[in-house]
Structure 1
């Protein structure tokens, strides 16, 4: 976070209708079809998943009341000393030259609150005005002298905001402000800090895909911030750090690509063994200062984002901030929104004292969102796929070790109570009414009741609803889940999937079944009695997510394995080959060059086709051919003078591609109908 004040937010893209409109009756609305698929497993819920930030300018950072509130919300990670203050903070003297340090915010006070909360600490070492020696001394004080056992240590905060790319909000005394200099120092910090305590985990700052200055290469650099940092410091780090302020309430759909692109960068630039590197979202807020920062729309967006990030394997999501202070005051969905990025009220007033927040530590709506997520998906649970056929209703699901299943439903409509009809795949709920947890617009608590059925509920407008279901049959004696699958020998149409065998239950394991996740539906790809299987008939240039399930000789099914995600290539040889090069990228668009080589017989006219992988991508302009776009499909036809392509000849075309989300590049190209080899 650049400052302890409000962060600029972009325009709200989720359209909300008029305030106080009467809710539609459930029988006026077609039931929303909800699909929950227990065979399509995602990440396991980490013990550090629900987090928040503390800041040394908050005098209530270490109070018992604050800690107890956070504990009740299920917070399991607390970050210190607070955003950009981390790069001016000196722990030994508890000073931050150029900033305000409130009373009762020293490191020991913070740790007392962490322990009372029942959380772990994420500590950010001072990169901007500090040294590796200072950071190592902090590790010694924390873990050797005090015995705090702090595991997670970041090196700096948003250090790409040091002016190297133009904008400057982050303190940085280094004469060289490049990513290469940051990477050199990450290595030095990691070596010095791990010499004191080799068990700690070191995190390095990355840019978030499709968020400034991601993908930009500054003058004199060998690549983007992420490329340079990962290439030079990847061997020394244990996790990477992302921050995300989407500025709108409908951005959870970006998460899967955001995290997948980050993992691809880690794999590409760090190399073998990079799968050990985790991903932490150490600052998150909806960033929508005028459209629900601390009222119900922001809470719904927060619950959706937290669940989606954790389901995609992020090991902590840390809200900005516990306390933040009053900002621009508006009315949102019938309630006062104080423009406060905090989970809890600071009890502050506007400059003219015309509007004051509720009493100190009064929870805002996003507090209840975190609390609901912590009740829905507990550490050790496994997220599974869920989806709906109504854009206003979002579904998430998680399976519990005891066989229970939790389903969280989010109704973002401000005027319609939606009935839902829930279908379960790979799971049979017990008869009877489930436990129902609900938070509605303006509510000051989560209510718990028993009502409806496992397959039918009605969701109030602007609400969070979690169902907790029991299985219809006992879950004893079943096989254990197969181990983490891995892919090898991946081609354009095939891949060999291998996994470690499942532990038998009361009966021997008879076979393993492979399922592809296709949205919230599973497609069985095959079965085998062994622990590897070659999948055929795959599509070129396509991302696949696969789970393996064990079945015993009595028909009993295990939990699904952890997910495996891989992407097929293009043909090893073809009558054509394509090379796509990004020549420049400015974070919302890029210039691309496509070299098309004819490897077959000479042609007198050519047509190149490809598709945008995501709905937020589009063609800005093109040259070297006649460009058209229909839906997501792009076609380039030769111009009058460049239609002839002899064998071995290459034509080059260029374009401007626009994007407003993670930029997944086109991977499959056809020339005159033939799939080309993408180089």
Structure 2
């Protein structure tokens, strides 16, 4: 994102207290129950998970102090040359016509900083004003001439912002600014760049679900940006690129659907082998200057989003920006917020000189958020489910190869301490005090101590707390391999998995568990490595894990997850087909074609349920429409209530959404589930 758009758009260290503090203090804290469930595994922590953006307007990009600070924060990937500057930047002569290029920011200087940081590089090739030949020459220089071994190469930045959908901030000299033209060039870039180095990975720009201009179909296009790009270029790319500036601190709940919808689009358009295509969040920031870009509330939202995105399988999340410059100055949570979307201070002042940032390279609060996440979830760890019964407190957990378990607790309340009680499912902590890492409002470092018990913790307001637990001795079996789902119907699915390695005792059986948030439900067990799950609900998304249990009752870690969605019935007394006629990234016009395949009816009720709380009915026609909670009904009018066998009627509605738009897939006619269209 352009720097200009981002600008528009005495420290107290508190020590964690355990719950055996004096009664007067304990009574002041509000209770919160935390559940950590190691039976419900999520994604593994990637090597490149914690990332950040460098920009060629930052004269301190390549300094040793910058690299050392990023290394201390756990940054493992650095992106270059800087958002929308990528589409005006020419690497060979280090120029960006129309933009400012600071001294000492050339590619070699950037790579020196990458190496000192101990990170990987993500390079964005110039699509807007460049050529495939220019990009291929960059690959040759980087990986053949210099031997830098740069693996990840993006083709352009936010190229949907080239004016094709109305708004124009991204440079694009191509006369044709359609997604089809971008996709054709992605193919050409990929061919030219991989001819130089076949080992590199190519990324294509997608729109982020429920973020403009996602789902919009412009005049003359065959589909939305994502549909067209993936249909043409999917076989040539290795990952897709999302950017996310939610503009609020409470949008982490959107992440699972955001990533799942992206995966479904990839699977739909990439064909066999689509699972090889990764997802990278190469720009992320809370995007909320009023709620804190350099202060603790924004940092807590950042930690929550990083952990959630990585747990859902994104292979890198790259903070915008290492340094960005002072913006609108406000007071947030008792501290000055400089409106700077960076991790480190640039030391600059407002245009009138009335307010200046802290000294150059002073870490802002989000820096400590990234540092905490990197210490909580390390490459090779496995995220597992965790949850709480209070919206102000978020929980994440990750198990480590040595059997340790780390729990990250985020208290976003500005004035309430929470007395947390932690319950562990599928895990027995060793007795004794755990290691505790803490960052509180205004603190200039993360504190580390060994204190308290595994089952309780006091969470100060606006705090990040990581608890690292040692495991009780275990001789259980190894974890089963990743399951796969086949033969999925409306009510059944067959799950198969690689067998688990025996521990001290042989494996006796496998258990199949379904995730319900931080709680799991056992759906069955078997002595083999295949199981058919029955009694499932039509049109429902399921995430399952498999665990091995040995002859002595010892339980393994859970397998990686498998996610699938059941179908609608193959036969029935009705058929319903939902068609989206137009979409504007916050609402859409839908039509439902309803066919009666059973006995004649005189008067009908079509019903469905919104999958998410952020969806609603705005209006409807050809029926009497009502909404109660998430349940929607369309009741026939006097003129269209009679449906003979085989007869069809069509009704329409306007739906609105403020998060990823997971469409309803199950419709009932007079209480009976219809087949899909």
Q: What TM-score, normalized by structure 2, do the two folds share?
A: 0.97
Among 661, 666, 671, which residue is 2:659 paired with?
A: 661
Q: Does the 8 A contact of 2:294 with 2:337 survive in 1? A: yes
Shift of 1:6: 2.0
Shift of 1:340: 0.1
Structure 2 match to 1:427: 427
Superposed CA offset, 1:513-568 (max 9, x none): 11000111110111111111000010111100001111222222222111101000
Q: CA separation of 1:507/1:242 partners in 2, compared to 1, >3 Å: closer, same or farther?
A: same
Structure 1 match to 2:195: 195
Alignment of 1:39-54 (within 5 A): 39-54=39-54
- Hey, what's the Cα distance between the residues in 2 that align with 1:162 and 1:229? 15
- Hey, what's the Cα distance between the residues in 2 that align with 1:452 and 1:392? 23
* 2:246 is the counterpart of 1:246: yes
- Hey, what's the Cα distance between the residues in 2 that align with 1:435 and 1:609? 52
**Is the deviation greater in 478-487 or in 667-676?**
478-487
Shift of 1:118: 0.4
Q: Does the 8 A contact of 1:545 with 1:564 survive in 2? A: yes
Structure 1 match to 2:387: 387
Structure 1 match to 2:268: 268
* 2:111 is the counterpart of 1:105: no
Superposed CA offset, 1:563-583 (max 9, x none): 101000110001001000000
Shift of 1:5: 5.0
Alignment of 1:497-646 (within 5 A): 497-646=495-644
Q: Does the 8 A contact of 1:51 with 1:78 survive in 2? A: yes
Q: What TM-score, normalized by structure 1, do the two folds share?
A: 0.97
Q: Does the 8 A contact of 1:4 with 1:324 survive in 2? A: no
Q: Does the 8 A contact of 1:25 with 1:416 survive in 2? A: no
Shift of 1:25: 4.9
Structure 1 match to 2:328: 328
Q: Does the 8 A contact of 2:576 with 2:593 survive in 1? A: yes
For residue 641 of structure 2, give the secondary structure of its aligned residue in structure 1.
Answer: coil
Q: Does the 8 A contact of 1:291 with 1:297 survive in 2? A: yes
Alignment of 1:184-583 (within 5 A): 184-474=184-474, 477-583=475-581
- Hey, what's the Cα distance between the residues in 1 that align with 2:275 and 2:513? 23
Shift of 1:150: 0.6
- Hey, what's the Cα distance between the residues in 2 that align with 1:209 and 1:621? 23
- Hey, what's the Cα distance between the residues in 1 that align with 2:385 and 2:244? 23
Structural RMSD (CA) = 1.0
Structure 2 match to 1:17: none
Alignment of 1:16-95 (within 5 A): 25-95=25-95
Q: After TM superposition, where is structure 1 displaced by more than 3 Å over at least 4 residues in a row?
A: none
Structure 1 match to 2:155: 155
Shift of 1:269: 0.9
Q: Does the 8 A contact of 2:28 with 2:417 survive in 1? A: no
Q: Does the 8 A contact of 2:7 with 2:325 survive in 1? A: no
Q: CA separation of 1:432/1:599 partners in 2, compared to 1, >3 Å: closer, same or farther?
A: same
**Is the deviation greater in 26-35 or in 89-98?**
26-35
Shift of 1:503: 2.2
Q: Does the 8 A contact of 1:5 with 1:325 survive in 2? A: no
Structure 2 match to 1:176: 176
Shift of 1:504: 2.2
- Hey, what's the Cα distance between the residues in 2 that align with 1:274 and 1:595? 31
Shift of 1:30: 4.2
Superposed CA offset, 1:635-668 (max 9, x none): 1100111100000011111000000000000011
Superposed CA offset, 1:405-445 (max 9, x none): 00000001111110011110000111122111100000000
Q: Does the 8 A contact of 1:5 with 1:324 survive in 2? A: no
- Hey, what's the Cα distance between the residues in 2 that align with 1:372 and 1:426? 25
For residue 3 of structure 2, give the secondary structure of its aligned residue in structure 1.
Answer: coil
- Hey, what's the Cα distance between the residues in 2 that align with 1:263 and 1:429? 35
For residue 180 of structure 2, give the secondary structure of its aligned residue in structure 1.
Answer: helix
- Hey, what's the Cα distance between the residues in 2 that align with 1:325 and 1:2? 12
Q: Does the 8 A contact of 2:3 with 2:324 survive in 1? A: no
Shift of 1:594: 0.5
For residue 349 of structure 2, give the secondary structure of its aligned residue in structure 1.
Answer: coil
Q: How many residues align?
A: 663
Shift of 1:7: 5.3
- Hey, what's the Cα distance between the residues in 2 that align with 1:33 and 1:99? 51
**Is the deviation greater in 393-402 or in 556-565?**
556-565
Q: Does the 8 A contact of 2:7 with 2:326 survive in 1? A: no
- Hey, what's the Cα distance between the residues in 2 that align with 1:61 and 1:28? 46
Q: Does the 8 A contact of 2:411 with 2:464 survive in 1? A: yes
- Hey, what's the Cα distance between the residues in 2 that align with 1:280 and 1:404? 28
Shift of 1:479: 2.4
Q: Does the 8 A contact of 2:548 with 2:556 survive in 1? A: yes
Q: Does the 8 A contact of 1:80 with 1:124 survive in 2? A: yes
Superposed CA offset, 1:435-465 (max 9, x none): 1110000000000112221111000000000
- Hey, what's the Cα distance between the residues in 2 that align with 1:333 and 1:358? 18
For residue 192 of structure 2, give the secondary structure of its aligned residue in structure 1.
Answer: helix
- Hey, what's the Cα distance between the residues in 1 that align with 2:644 and 2:28? 64
For residue 608 of structure 1, give the secondary structure of its aligned residue in structure 2.
Answer: strand
- Hey, what's the Cα distance between the residues in 2 that align with 1:166 and 1:25? 57
Q: Which runs of 5+ in 2 are unaligned?
A: 10-23
Q: Does the 8 A contact of 1:368 with 1:445 survive in 2? A: yes
- Hey, what's the Cα distance between the residues in 2 that align with 1:344 and 1:433? 34
For residue 209 of structure 2, give the secondary structure of its aligned residue in structure 1.
Answer: coil
Q: Does the 8 A contact of 1:53 with 1:319 survive in 2? A: yes
Shift of 1:27: 1.2
Q: Does the 8 A contact of 1:26 with 1:418 survive in 2? A: no
Q: CA separation of 1:532/1:33 partners in 2, compared to 1, >3 Å: closer, same or farther?
A: same
Structure 1 match to 2:144: 144
Structure 2 match to 1:650: 648
- Hey, what's the Cα distance between the residues in 2 that align with 1:567 and 1:7? 42
Structure 1 match to 2:21: none
For residue 6 of structure 1, give the secondary structure of its aligned residue in structure 2.
Answer: helix
Q: Does the 8 A contact of 2:280 with 2:316 survive in 1? A: yes
Superposed CA offset, 1:100-135 (max 9, x none): 110000000000000000000000000001110110
